[in-house]
A and B are shown apart, each in its own frame.
Chain A
Amino acid sequence: MKKSPAWEKLDNTALLFPVIATEGMSNVYRLSAILTEDVDPALLKEAQDKVLAQFLSFRMRLRTGVFWYYFEENDKKPPQVNEENDFPGAYINKSRNNQYLFRVTYYKKRINLEVFHALTDGFGGLVFLKELLYQYLRLKHPELAKIEKDCLSPGVFLDKEDSYMKNFRRSVSHDTAYKSKKAVTLKGEKLPKGEMGVVHGYFKLAEVKAAAKKYGITLNQFLVGTYVYAMYREYLKGAPSDIPINCCVPVDLRSYYESHTMKNFFVMISAEFKPEKDEYTYEEVLLGIAETLKKQTNKENLDNILSYNVSNEANKLLRPIPLFIKNFAIRSVYESTAYGTTSTMTNVGKIELREPYEPYVERFNAMLSMSKGQNMKGAILSYKDMMVLTFTTVLADISIIKRFYSCLRKEGVNAAIETNGVWD
């Protein structure tokens, strides 16, 4: 008898994405690997199918229940691997793509993995992409298959626990919860509807580290601070403002709660800067942002945010409310708080490949799709001795990005820039 397909509840963060995802705000992120040679589509498809068979967390389709959405094991054929023909982070239609919530595409030397955020966060996406790369390279280069086992890497966790629920405990203080007060929204002429601009910046990791060290702050604080300063100078023109610039920074909770889940497990903290006088210096903004990020990045504060986020889901009175009412409420709350964030900058972290595969991969990049009220976002990652910062935006004017690179150059960080050509 055929086994009934597995199913599971959505994690706390994932509950939001099916409700708010639209073609314009897809909530799809992209992780790409650029190889040293052109991609072989047939082998990439074969690699995808092999790896997918081992990742139940990616072999899921989204279904609608009476009270909640849920994931059900997708027993349809694995999705096609197509040549890239769309803008990064394009909407993933739940009913097409064989109902899979991710897609693998390629273009010349680049392999792209695009994931609907309900499925997993950047950590989970990266685990899948690395295994996909290993499998592809083993197929493409039989000499690798001789020295490497044809299976998932040792040490890969396939854990699918809901770490939000597991680590949830009711907190007395909800002071740190997301605020609904308005923040600066980056407005201006937009690119044609449906288009998204991409600017990759490539730096030497050592140069960025040295610049951050000069101010006694972490690399992440340095880059977020520089971004906030660029917004302050270019959008607010260095003038005081009644509302703050609020840059959200996702924090991966796995290291704080000893989790290895392949589901979402992160919360947002905010780098907030409210200019109350004229002409703040670069250093003032940088140190101010570093301080606010430092204050929020501690276990107690993260406990509070996690507790606030999960409290409604855990509420026994709210759980039996029909889904269409919950969706309406979630959408209303989201829309009322969306304009409380100016932008988001995420750091995927340092990507390390297993030694035999490294020579075949030149670099990686990550990029985020837009959200309501956020017309520009940034994603950082590092690989070998290189750092890649990718800005994605729907704005036609990218003077903020120009200012960002200009600040870095003044700090001795040299950049190489690559775009997806929408501003040509």
Chain B
Amino acid sequence: MNKTEKKSEKKTKHENIEPEIKHMKMCPQCQAVLYDGNETCPLCHCVPEDLSAEDEARVTKEFGAVAPYPDAKKKYRAVKIVLRIALFVLILAAVAMLIVNYTVTPTIKWSFIAIAGEAYAYIMLYYWLKNDSGFAAKVALQIFSTAALVYAVDMLTGNYGWALQWAIPGIILLGDGFVFLLMMMNRSRWHSYLLLLILMGVCSIALAGFFIAGHLEHKLVAMICIAVTGIYILATVIFGQAKISTELKRRFHV
């Protein structure tokens, strides 16, 4: 079967499931003409009587012909099913991890961290699928929440400082790279990602604060992060000039 035949067969199937146009009826209880021509009146559920051909022609002349609606009930399932499957799998995995943790290594509560990671993954999946914020806003929240999560994990597991020294600068660098990628991929609207870049700048300033206050034992990654973000912002401001000022004016209008 060639492509056209397949298409035509698909179309025929589609046409078969379209609601058939029924003849109008009259509800003896409501005394109203029923365009839908259904088995019962939608208002009082009384069995209607057929409308004569002349009366149907008269009503059509007065108010126009029947204009049916499609069956729209199936559309809401796809996203819901994905989220429910994810929730089901994550709950099963959480229970399994708790059992293994308590039977094999009861002294180390690693399963709580794993379950927190699962919860984070589900919330992010829900947010990406259900929220209609722009791509940049989603990336910003993802970066911010990931940084918060790794910081929380570090604090809960002995506060060794790896989050601030390695993980968070790494996330900011990843964010810089992502902003660059987005700007390259969407060159005509590169300025749309300016706010995301500013957020990276703010995170780098916070990191610089920790750096100056002497909270960072290993400074290399943090220094690279601050330098890269700083150079990136400087280059954007110098080469972007008019577009940058327009974008800033719009984004910060009071």
User: What residues make up the interface of A, taking CB atoms closer than 8 Å to B?
Assistant: 2, 4, 7, 9, 23, 34, 36, 63-68, 70, 72, 75, 83-87, 93-96, 107-110, 192-195, 198-202, 204, 319-320, 362-363, 386, 398, 401-402, 405-406, 409, 414-421, 423-424
- For B36, give the chain A residue with the smallest CB separation: A419
* CB closest chain-A residue, reference B243: A4
- Give bound CA distance, A66 to B195, whole Å: 9
> With the chains together, A200 CA to B66 CA distance in Å?
11
| Partner-binding segment picked from B25-33, B102-110, B212-220 | B25-33
Q: Across the interface, name the chain B residue whose C-beta is closest to A410.
A: B31
Contact B72 A418 (CB under 8 A): no
Please determine whether B19 and A64 come into contact, CB atoms closer than 8 angstroms. no
Interface centre among A63, A386, A398, by most B CB within 10 Å?
A: A63
Asked if B10 lies at the interface with its beta carbon under 8 angstroms from chain A, I say no
A-B residue pairs, 5 tightest by C-beta: A362-B64, A418-B35, A416-B33, A420-B69, A402-B43
Judging by beta carbons under 8 Å apart, are A2 and B253 in contact?
Answer: no
Given contacts A85-B70, A95-B132, contact A417 B252 (CB under 8 A): no
Cα–Cα distance between A156 and B18 once the two chains are bound (Å): 38
Q: How far is the CB of B78 from chain A (nearest CB, A)?
A: 12
Q: Give the contact stretch, choosing among B93-101, B133-141, B143-151, B233-241.
A: B133-141
* Extra inter-chain contacts (16) besides given A96-B132, A201-B32, A409-B31, CB under 8 Å: A7-B250, A36-B65, A67-B253, A84-B69, A93-B132, A94-B134, A95-B133, A107-B70, A194-B76, A200-B35, A363-B63, A398-B42, A406-B30, A416-B59, A418-B36, A418-B66
Interface size class of B (residues with CB under 8 A): 35 or more
Is the CB–CB distance between B35 and A416 below 8 Å?
A: yes
Chain B residues within an 8 Å CB radius of A420: 69
Residues of B within 8 A of A415 (CB): 32-33
* Contact status B42-A417, CB under 8 Å: yes
Q: At the interface, yes or no: B85 with Cβ under 8 Å from chain A?
A: no
Nearest opposing residue in chain B for A406, CB measure: B30
Residues of A within 8 A of B34 (CB): 416-418
List the B residue with the shortest CB-CB distance to A403.
B43
Could you name 11 residue pairs across A and B whose Cβ atoms are closer than 8 Å? A36-B65, A67-B252, A95-B135, A107-B70, A194-B76, A409-B32, A417-B43, A418-B67, A419-B42, A420-B69, A421-B19
Chain B residues whose C-beta falls within 8 Å of the C-beta of A416 in the assembled complex: 24, 32-35, 59, 62-63
Interface of B is mostly: loop
- CB atoms of B251 and A66 under 8 A apart: yes
B4 within 8 A of A: no
A107 touches B69 (CB 8 A): yes
Residues of A within 8 A of B250 (CB): 7, 63, 65, 70, 72
> With an 8 A cutoff between CB atoms, is B44 at the interface?
yes
Q: Which of B63-97 contact A (CB under 8 A)?
A: 63-73, 75-76
Q: A193 is contacted by which of B63, B76, B135 (Cβ under 8 Å)?
A: B76
Contact in complex: B62, A204 (CB < 8 Å):
yes
Instruction: Give the residue name and chain of the B residue nearest to A96 (CB).
Output: B132
Contact A64 B134 (CB under 8 A): yes
A201 neighbours in B (Cβ, 8 Å) = 32
- Minimal Cβ-Cβ distance residue in B for A363: B64
Specify which chain B residues have a CB less than 8 angstroms from the CB of A96 in the assembled complex. Answer: 132
Task: Flag whether B52 is at the interface (Cβ < 8 A).
Answer: no
| Chain A positions within 8 Å of B72 at CB level | 84-87, 195
Q: Which B residues touch A401, using CB under 8 A?
A: 43
| Shortest CB distance B79–A (Å) | 10
A358 to chain B, nearest CB (A): 12
B188 near A: Cβ within 8 Å?
A: yes
Closest-by-CB residue of B relative to A202 is: B63
B254 within 8 A of A: yes
CB-CB under 8 A from A2, the residues of chain B are 188
Inter-subunit contact B44/A402 (CB<8 Å)? yes
> With the chains together, A386 CA to B66 CA distance in Å?
15
Q: B159 — which chain A residues lie within 8 A by C-beta?
A: none
Instruction: Compute how far the CA of A66 lies from the CA of B251 in the bound complex, rounded to whole angstroms.
Output: 6
**Least Cβ distance of A424 to chain B in Å?**
6
> Once the chains are docked, how many angstroms separate the CA of A349 from the CA of B251?
38
Tell me whether A65 and B33 are in contact in the complex, defined as CB-CB below 8 angstroms, given that A94-B132, A401-B43, A402-B44 are known contacts: no
Nearest CB of A to B10, in Å: 14
Instruction: Report which residue of A67, A192, A195, A402 has the largest number of chain B beta carbons within 10 angstroms of its beta carbon.
Output: A402
Closest to B14 in A: A83
